[in-house]
């Protein structure tokens, strides 16, 4: 049996705990405030895209915690949702909702458990762009929750959060909805200029710096020289300075493979297809017009041109399927290839060819999606163009995407001359804002937030650069004014954390902490702020110089909510003695746990620290039996209530280098 609210299109599976429906009042459709603008969602409007939520199943489960699971979908769409309702005795009148463009409707166990432990039910939606599906799910979930908890007209508070692409969606939501959520936590935030520039910048660095990446890494390691420019050629130093000024964190070079995308299948150019579609003339201009590296007469231009592969080998053999359709061709006359990343294949005058080349045999195995016309042209003696012209041209596309100076992107001054004008020719359109609008659902990053907001950003993030959070904070301050800004916005920088969410594994744990706990604490803080007016700790104090975000060494000066660890070492022969001091910022709780990694393996041994306090002083020692270089870490966690637990244990670590000689 179902109940249908005709005016709103609501479809709800009747359950024994649901109260009888009241007559519905017709509501207006959600609409844009101006033509072509983003849709404005309020508690009362009905989004025509998501007007018919349908419950597909309800179950009572005991794992990961006891809860009622309500799953469903929006009729006429691919969007699914799941609502996780803890027992009434645990519910405190709130919900938490995670968003990410590629997420599914099934929340992680930790997310469900955190919500229940924090007095809230959890809402999850299948991924799509924008915020409207999330808003519709949030509003419908309130109806379900009110019936399940028999809460009547009790107000339900909601909190939205999401990392990376989810930060775009969260920003779209907090600027273009009113009364749907009461607070939000955007995480590792992007800005309208982030994509594809952030990835292309690193791809350009790979082209120039891959052979000296280990040298740079050694310099930025703890105990290193601290001078990543030492020993670099002039062109290498200039490139490192350029990408650093644009925001690639110098400390991230400890993992040069990730910074340079050496293991990525697309070479960090996954958004290249967007450029090829919207700016197809770029590749021709790059290789023929002044102002582009393809023609620039400089050491950097020479280096870039040396990467070019452009050949027209001949088909010497065609392998066909039983029906005569070509499935592979053998090519003669290929240049020596060390790899095939970024190669394009074209039958001149006819069209592109999709396939995978084995450079050792010259066999081009054809993929799916090739047109019948192109396949019919594959004959012995036909020439195939094999080139990487786009692949070489794309990395420096960011040089030709300098935003207007009045948009607050001072970071791009490295690409502007003394007169404030771009140093290089600019393309007809800015691609980044177009991608951002698609991801946010039309949001414009105006800074006009309608909820309490706590941003969590990480200082070793090479995917969403740390300066992004500062840029958005300035947008909010400009939009709200100083007083309203202080009453609605916080920015917490998280040290020793990168872009990837979830548990940190392997040797990476020696230098990186998970940011899940600080997000959980931020969610609890924003809830207390919105519901009870409890002012959260002050934002992290920071400076930005040369594209790098830096924070004070002392916890009392740094502020925010992450503990600070100061670690030093004294080495006598093969015995090392370590001295550590950990502190929490004002109002950020106490140190509740600590653990040593004496070998740099990423495996920690917990220690007993006694009574939690805002300051922890420790001494540890270890005798090394083998010579080598070791990076030793002490990881600590702080808790607002002053006790260890499964959630909101905000982490940080300190590191030193120990060199044991033979």
What DSSP assignment string belongs to 509-531? GGT---SHHHHHHHHHHHHHHHH
pLDDT score for 55: 98
User: Which positions of the chain have pLDDT values less than 50?
Assistant: 1-24
**Contact assessment for residue 520 and residue 645, using Cβ atoms and an 8 Å cutoff:** no
Query: Which residues, at least 6 apart from 496, have a Cβ–Cβ distance to it below 8 Å?
Result: 459, 460, 511, 512, 513, 652, 653
For residue 644, the SS3 value is: coil
Residue 278 token pair: 């919207």
Q: How far apart are CA 590 and CA 638, in angstroms?
A: 5
Give the angle subtended at the CA of 47 by the CAs of 473 and 443, to the nearest 5°: 25
Laid out side by side, the sheet with 564-572 consists of 564-572, 575-583, 615-623
Alpha-carbon separation of residue 468 from 56, 343, 430 (angstroms): 40, 33, 17
- Residue 206 burial (10 A CB sphere; 0-12, 13-18, 19+): buried
Backbone angles phi, psi at 156, to 5 degrees: -115, 125
**Contact assessment for residue 467 and residue 193, using Cβ atoms and an 8 Å cutoff:** no
For residue 590, the SS3 value is: strand
Residue 658 token pair: 């120990």
pLDDT score for 88: 97
Query: Which residues, at least 6 apart from 97, have a Cβ–Cβ distance to it below 8 Å?
Result: 122, 123, 124, 125, 134, 137, 138, 158, 159, 160, 161, 181
- Residue 504 burial (10 A CB sphere; 0-12, 13-18, 19+): buried
Q: How far apart are CA 98 and CA 187, in angstroms?
A: 11
Residue 526's nearest CA partner among 174, 198, 291 is: 174
Q: How far apart are CA 275 and CA 473, in angstroms?
A: 29
Residue 172's nearest CA partner among 202, 133, 140, 211 is: 133
Signed CA dihedral, 456, 459, 464, 468: sign only: positive
Residue 400's nearest CA partner among 432, 378, 376, 375 is: 432
Q: What is the pLDDT of residues 103-147, one digit of tens each?
A: 999 999 999 999 999 999 999 999 799 999 999 999 999 999 999
| Residue 615: strand pairing partners | 583
H and E: helices and strands count for the chain: 17, 30
**Contact assessment for residue 307 and residue 294, using Cβ atoms and an 8 Å cutoff:** no
Residue 296's nearest CA partner among 390, 209, 396 is: 396
What is the value of pTM for the model shown? 0.94
Laid out side by side, the sheet with 605-607 consists of 605-607, 590-597, 628-639, 650-660
Query: Which residues, at least 6 apart from 126, have a Cβ–Cβ distance to it below 8 Å?
Result: 78, 79, 80, 81, 103, 104, 105, 133
pLDDT score for 26: 65
Which DSSP letter does residue 50 get?
G
**How many alpha carbons fall within 13 Å on the CB side of residue 20?**
2
Signed CA dihedral, 33, 39, 43, 49: sign only: positive
Chain Cα centroid distance, residue 157: 26
**Contact assessment for residue 68 and residue 85, using Cβ atoms and an 8 Å cutoff:** yes
pLDDT score for 9: 31
The size of the chain, in residues, is 662
| Residue 329: strand pairing partners | 318, 364
């Amino acid at each position: 049996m179902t109940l249908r609210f005709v005016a709103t299109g609501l479809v709800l599976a009747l359950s024994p705990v649901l109260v009888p429906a009241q007559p519905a009042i017709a509501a207006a459709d959600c609409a844009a405030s101006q033509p072509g603008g983003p849709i404005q969602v309020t508690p009362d409007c009905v989004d025509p895209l998501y007007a018919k939520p349908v419950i597909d199943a309800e179950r009572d489960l005991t794992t990961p915690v006891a809860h009622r699971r309500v799953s469903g979908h929006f009729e006429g769409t691919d969007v699914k949702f799941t609502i996780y309702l803890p027992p009434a005795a645990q519910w405190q009148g709130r919900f938490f909702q995670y968003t990410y463009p590629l997420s599914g409707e099934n929340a992680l166990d930790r997310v469900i458990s955190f919500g229940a432990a924090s007095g809230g039910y959890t809402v999850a939606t299948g991924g799509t762009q924008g915020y409207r599906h999330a808003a519709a799910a949030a509003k419908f979930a309130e109806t379900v929750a009110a019936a399940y908890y028999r809460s009547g007209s009790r107000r339900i508070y909601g909190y939205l959060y999401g990392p990376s692409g989810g930060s775009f969606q969260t920003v779209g939501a907090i600027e273009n909805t009113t009364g749907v959520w009461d607070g939000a936590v955007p995480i590792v935030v992007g800005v309208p200029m982030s994509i594809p520039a952030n990835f292309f910048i690193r791809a350009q660095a790979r082209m120039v710096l891959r052979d000296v990446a280990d040298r740079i890494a050694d310099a930025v390691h703890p105990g290193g020289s601290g001078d990543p420019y030492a020993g670099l050629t002039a062109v290498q130093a200039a490139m490192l300075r350029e990408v650093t000024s644009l925001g690639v964190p110098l400390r991230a070079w400890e993992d040069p493979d990730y910074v340079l995308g050496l293991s990525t299948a697309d070479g960090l150019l996954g958004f290249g297809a967007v450029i090829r579609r919207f700016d197809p003339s770029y590749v021709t201009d790059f290789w023929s017009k002044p102002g582009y590296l393809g023609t620039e007469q400089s050491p950097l231009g020479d280096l870039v041109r040396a990467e070019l592969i452009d050949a027209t080998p001949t088909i010497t053999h065609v392998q066909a399927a039983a029906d005569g359709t070509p499935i592979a061709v053998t090519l003669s006359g290929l240049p020596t290839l060390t790899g095939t990343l970024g190669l394009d294949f074209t039958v001149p005058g006819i069209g592109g060819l999709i396939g995978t080349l084995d450079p050792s045999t010259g066999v081009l195995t054809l993929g799916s999606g090739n047109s019948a016309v192109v396949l019919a042209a594959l004959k012995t003696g036909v020439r195939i163009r094999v080139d990487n012209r786009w692949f070489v041209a794309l990395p420096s596309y960011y040089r030709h995407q300098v935003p207007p100076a009045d948009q607050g992107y001072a970071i791009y001054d490295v690409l502007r001359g003394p007169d404030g004008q771009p140093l290089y020719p600019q393309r007809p359109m800015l691609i980044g804002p177009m991608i951002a609008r698609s991801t946010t659902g039309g949001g414009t990053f105006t800074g006009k937030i309608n909820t309490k907001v706590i941003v969590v950003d990480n200082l070793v993030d090479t995917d969403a650069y740390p300066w992004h959070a500062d840029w958005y904070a300035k947008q909010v301050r400009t939009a709200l004014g100083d007083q309203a800004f202080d009453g609605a916005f916080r920015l917490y920088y998280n040290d020793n954390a990168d872009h990837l969410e979830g548990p940190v594994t392997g040797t990476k744990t020696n230098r990186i902490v998970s940011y899940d706990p600080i997000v959980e604490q931020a969610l609890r803080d924003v809830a207390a702020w919105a519901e009870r007016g409890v002012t959260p700790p002050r934002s992290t104090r920071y400076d930005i110089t040369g594209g790098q975000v830096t924070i004070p060494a002392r916890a009392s000066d740094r502020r925010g909510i992450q503990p600070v660890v100061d670690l030093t070492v004294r080495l006598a022969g093969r015995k090392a003695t370590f001295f550590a001091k950990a502190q929490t910022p004002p109002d950020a709780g106490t140190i509740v746990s600590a653990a040593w990694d004496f070998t740099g393996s990423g495996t920690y041994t917990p220690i007993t620290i006694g009574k939690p306090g805002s300051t922890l002083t420790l001494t540890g020692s270890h005798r090394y039996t083998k010579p080598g270089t070791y990076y030793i870490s002490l990881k600590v966690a702080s808790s607002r209530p002053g006790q260890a637990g499964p959630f909101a244990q905000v982490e940080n670590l300190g590191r030193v280098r120990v060199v044991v000689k033979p």
